Amino acid sequence: MAKVKKAFFCKNCGFEAPKWLGRCPSCGEWNTFAEEIIARESGSVPAVAAGPLPAAKPQRVRDIRESEHVRLDLGNAEVNRVLGGGMVPGSLVLVGGEPGIGKSTLSLQIALAANGLKTLYVSGEESAEQIKMRAARIGIGNDECLIYPETLLENIVAQIAEHRPDLVVIDSIQTIYTDLLDSSAGSVSQIRECAATLLKYAKSTGTSIFIIGHITKDGSIAGPKILEHIVDVVLQFEGDSNNIYRILRGIKNRFGATFEIGVFEMLDAGLRGVDNPSEILLTHYEEPLSGIAVGASADGVRPYLIEVQALVSGAAYGTPQRSTTGYDARRMNMLLAVLEKRVGMKMFQKDVFLNFAGGFKVADPGLDLAVVAAVISSYYDRPVAEGVCCAGEIGLSGEVRPAPRTEQRISEAARLGFRRIIVSGYLAKGGKRPKGIEVVPINSVDQLPKALFTE
C-alpha cells in the first residue's frame, strides 16, 4: 500500500514546498504555508458519485466541426455585455468581489432570470430557506430554478448529471470540497481540484458553470493563481459599500474583449442595470464651481463621462498632503510634478485632494487631462467654462497624447450635450465628427488653461 503523501502549500499564491517555510519564495508572504494531504493510501479513495466523465479522443484539425457558437442569454443586459454578448455553452465563469458587494444577489438574479434556461443554483453558504427569502425580495418569477444546498463535490456532480441543467451557479468555490482530498474546504488543493473537475465536466458535457469566488484582503481572487488560469472568464465585482453603484469588470475573457464593464445600481429589490452611466456620474450645479472638470473615459468599447473633483489649498505643514479617492496616487503625483515643471505652478506648497464622483475606481490614462484641468481650476479658483470636457493622456515632458478610442469619447460627449471637448493635437485627422461639438486640439499641457477658461 502506498504511503500518505503530504506537502506544504502557500495559502496566498499556491506555491508547493516539500517542507514548511517561514517565507514563501514565490510571493514573499510570511507564515502562509499549511500542510495538506495530496495522496492517500491506495484503496482509500472514494469513487465519484457521477461515475467517470466522458473521455476525449485526439482529432485532426480538419475533422473538428465548429458549432454555431450560440451564446446563452443570462437575462441581464449588463452581464451579457461584459461576457461579450452572452455566456458560451460549456464555459466556466469566475466572479470575485468584496464581502457584501452583491455577488450572491447577482448570481441568484441570473439563476432566477426568466430566459428559458434550466438552472441549478448550488449554495454552500446559505440554506434553502434563506435563498427563498432573498428570491422573494428580488421578485424575479422563475419558479423552475432548482435550489441545492450542498458542499460535497461528488454529490453536486451527481445532481448536475441527473438533471442536465443549461446553467449551473455555484456559490461559492471556497465552500466546495471533494472526498479525494483530506484537506479542509477552501484550501489550495481543494480549490484547485474542485475547479479542475468542474472544468472537465463543463467542457465534456457543454454545461455552462457560473462560479462565485472570495477575494483576499489585498483584493485578489482567493486561492491558487491557477484558479484564474483554469476558468474561461474572470469577472471582478467592484464598488464602495457606502455607495449604491457597482461595477462588473471583465479581467479575463477567452470569448470576448477584456476590460469591458457593466454598471449596476444596488436597490432594495436587488441589482438594476444602468444603461447610461454618464448620467449618474455627472452632477448638475446651479452655478459653476471651481475644481470640477468632466473627463471622457472609455472602458472596453463603452465610453462614458465622469466628473473629477479637485481641491488645492495651502499646505499648513511642511510636507504637503496628497490624497486620492478612486485614482492612483502615484499617477496624480506625476501629473502634479508635470504642472510644476512645465506650467510653473508651485504645487510643492499646496495640499491636493482628488475625488471621482460615484465612488468609481478608474485607471484610464485618457483621464489625465481631466485630472489636470480640475487641479488647475481649483488652483486659480476659476470654474471651467460650461459645456467643456477633456480626453487625453499627459507625458512627462508635458505633451498631450491621444487617448484610446478618442472618437467614441467625442461622440459620447456630443450625445450628452457638451459644446466643446479638449483632445490631443496629435490625433489623426479625418473621420466623421459629430455635429454640435467643437473639438479643441492642444499639443502641450501649458495650452490647457486657455482652452479651459475661454468661453
Kindly indicate the confidence band of residue 35, based on its pLDDT and cuts at 50, 70 and 90: confident
**Tens of pLDDT, residues 82-124:** 998 899 999 999 999 888 888 999 999 999 886 788 999 999 9
Q: Are residues 314 and 253 in the same domain?
A: no
**Nine cell digits for residue 424:** 490631443
Looking at the structure, tell me whether residues 300 and 229 fall in a common domain.
Answer: no
Q: Is 75 annotated as belonging to a binding site?
A: no
Is 97 annotated as ligand-binding? yes
Radius of gyration of the chain (CA): 26
Residues 117 and 174 grouped into a single domain: yes
Please tell me whether the peptide bond between 313 and the residue prior to it is cis, using omega within 30 degrees of 0.
no
What is the reported pLDDT for 239?
Answer: 80
In a domain, residue 63? The reply is no
**Is 98 labeled as ligand-binding?**
yes
Q: Is residue 44 part of a domain?
A: no
Residue pLDDT, tens place only, 211-248: 999 888 777 888 778 889 899 999 999 887 777 888 89
Residues 6+ apart with CB under 8 A from 392: 366, 368, 369, 400, 401, 402, 403, 422, 423, 424, 442
pLDDT cut 90: percent of the chain above it: 44
Within this chain, do residues 310 and 433 fall inside the same structural domain, yes or no? yes
225 is in an annotated binding site: no
- CA atoms of 290 and 327, how far apart (whole Å): 20
| Shared domain check, 329 and 224 | no
- The number of distinct structural domains making up the chain is 3
Please state whether beta strands 261-267 and 245-253 pair in parallel, antiparallel, or not at all (unpaired).
antiparallel
CATH number at residue 436: 3.30.230.10
Let me know whether 269 and 298 are in one domain: no
Same domain? For 238 and 301 the reply is no
Q: Is 173 marked as a binding-site residue?
A: no
- Asked if 123 and 210 sit in the same domain, the reply is yes
Q: Please, what is the average pLDDT of the chain?
A: 86
C-alpha cell at 366: 485618457
- In tens, the pLDDT along 117-173 reads 899 999 998 999 999 888 888 876 667 789 999 999 999 999 999 999 999 999 989
Residues 117 and 195 in one domain: yes
Q: Is 103 annotated as a binding residue?
A: yes
Between these two residues, 276 and 235, which has the higher pLDDT value? 235
Domain end, chosen from 229, 247, 275, is at 275
| Residues 122 and 232 grouped into a single domain | yes
Best CA proximity match to 18, nearest among 10, 26, 3, 7: 7
Please report which confidence band the pLDDT of residue 67 belongs to, taking 50, 70 and 90 as the band edges: low
Comparing 257 with 80, the larger pLDDT belongs to 80
Distance CA 139, CA 65 (A): 41
Q: pTM of the full predicted structure?
A: 0.75
Higher-pLDDT residue of 417, 45: 417
State the chain's maximal CA–CA distance in angstroms: 86
Same domain, 132 and 263: yes
Q: How far is CA 174 from CA 166, 189, 391, in A?
A: 23, 11, 42
Mean pLDDT of 34-59: 60
| Same domain (yes/no): 126, 200 | yes
Domain that holds residue 35: 5-39
The 3-state secondary structure of 129-185 reads: HHHHHHHHHHCCCCCCCEEEECCEHHHHHHHHHHHCCCEEEEECHHHCECCCCCCCC
